[in-house]
Amino acid sequence: MNETLIALLRRLQTGEVDAETVAETLRSEHTGIVGDIARLDHQRESRVGAPEVIYGESKSAEQIATLMRALAKGGAGALTTRVDEEKARAVLASLGQGQYHQNARALEIVASMPRAAGRGAVGVVCAGTSDIPVADEAVVCLRFLGHEVLEVRDVGVAGLHRLLRVLPELEKCSVLIVVAGMEGALPTVMAGLLPQPIVAVPTSVGYGVSMGGFAALASMLSSCAPGLSVVNIDNGIGAAMVAARINRSEA
């Protein structure tokens, strides 16, 4: 069932929105054509549990503002990733609302209709401080989708004692996202210590033969620890979507 639509109808019932708003939302569910730039997938959340997210790096501020405005109709909010600070200022000025998450390089219009929380918290763990932007992209996406998040930073294998100290907290999470560059060893270590499913994210952090994240990617794909899945280099948003599906699945 479409949770967003149910929430909208409940708001109609309580008088928070009027019938015209509901009618416009239902119309947009079936059209989604925004000028000559996009065909928005308004039904994605009802199909797969998460709404369409805008990739902002190759879009203009005007295009992003137009798309976010269209996606946010009806209270579902909107999220755009990979937006630099200058472009973000232009988008926010056009929208007259929203917020910019600088570390994550993400723009958000917070949903006015709450989304159902998952089975538990999602742990987002990064190996080093340089991995924080990718981890933060995952954090912003998860919170936008309604999930509780536990953030753990700078517990890479160069100082393994740091990870051991936070294991009791991580054991309480239902799924873990582990972000690491360099040799990408942290997800394998964690998969050998913790029982939860782990989504590993290689980052482009590293010198020379790290090859922009390919060394970490290869290491994670070659992991000997079971229960580990891997997404693309620097793909915080992809990891968040995987973790969100796991966290919302039946126990």
pTM: 0.81
> What's the confidence (pLDDT) of residue 47?
67
Q: Which alpha helices (DSSP H) does 31-102 contain, by range? A: 44-48, 61-72, 85-95
Read off the tokens for 84. Answer: 């630099």
Q: Low-confidence residues of the chain, pLDDT below 70?
A: 1-5, 24-50, 249-251
137 — phi, psi (to 5°)? -60, -40
Architecture of domain 122-248: 3-Layer(aba) Sandwich (3.40)
Domain extent listing, the chain? 3-109, 122-248
What's the count of helices (H) and strands (E) in the chain, helices before strands? 10, 11
> What's the confidence (pLDDT) of residue 1?
40
β strands within 203-242, DSSP E: 228-230
> What's the confidence (pLDDT) of residue 220?
95
Distance, CA of 27 to CA of 9 (rounded, Å) = 14
